[in-house]
Amino acid sequence: MTLDELRREVLEANRELVRRGLVLYTFGNASGLWLRQGLVVIKPSGVPFEELTEEQMVVTDLDGRVVEGRLRPSSDLATHLEIYRAFGAGGVVHTHSTYATAWAQAGREIPCYGTTQADYCRGPVPVTAPLEATEISGDYERNTGRTIVRRFSGLNPREAPWVLVHGHGPFTWGATPREALFHAVILEEVARLAWLTVSLNPAAEPLPQVHIDRHFLRKHGPQASYGQPKD
C-alpha cells in the first residue's frame, strides 16, 4: 500500500461513517496506519465529513508530529496513537453512535446476549474505568488511550476489537481502516440489540461461553469454517 492509497481509504472510511449514520456533523473520526513508514493518516479536526477531500487528510508520525497537511489533525489523534502502539492495529475509528454511546454513558459493558455479538467478540464489549480528575485536566486524549490500553490488560484486542470509553463513546480497530469501520458498524448494531434485549427481558442472561466460543472461532479461529477459503 502507498501513502496515497491509505489517504483514499481513510477518506472513504470517514465518508462511510456518515452513510452508515454513525456520526453527526464532526462527531467522530477514522484513521489508518502505514506501518512500514510509521505514518498515520487521520481526519482533520472540525471539518464536516461532507466537505472532506483527500488532500485534507493529515499525515503524522507515531509521536503525533504532522508530516504532511495544512490542517490540524483530529483532537483524538493521541488516543488513536495509543491504540496503534498497544494493539498492532492498522485502522482506528471513533464515533458517538447512539446506542454504543448510551452504554458508554451508562458505564456498562455490553453482555454477549446473542450470536450476532459472538461472531465478532469473544465475550462482553468492555467499558473503561472513568478517568481521574488529573487525567482529564492533564493530557486528556492520550490518557483516554491509556485507559483503553489498561482495560485490555488480560484481554486480547483481536477477540474484542472495540471498547466503550466511560462517559464518552466507542473506539474500534482492525487490520485496516475499512475493517475498523466495519467493527464500528457492527458495534452499533450489537449495542442496539442489547438495549432491545434488556428492554424486553431485564433478566436476560448472556450466552454460555461455550456458545460464544463456537461462533467466534468458526469465523476467527485457526480452523475457521465461515466463508470461502482464501487462495
Q: Which three cell numbers stand for residue 70?
A: 495544512
Asked if residue 78 lies in contact with residue 61, where contact means CB atoms within 8 angstroms, the answer is no
Q: Are 195 and 164 in contact (CB under 8 A)?
A: no
Q: One of 119, 139, 213, 231 is an active-site residue; which one?
A: 119
195 closest CA partner among 106, 95, 121, 122: 106
Give, in order, the Cα–Cα distances in Å from 175 to each of 33, 61, 113, 143, 195: 9, 18, 26, 23, 28
Residue 76 annotated as catalytic:
no
- Dihedral sign for Cα 163, 114, 197, 188, please: positive
Q: Establish whether 226 is a catalytic residue.
A: yes
Active-site choice (4, 25, 140, 226): 226
| Active site positions, annotated | 119, 226
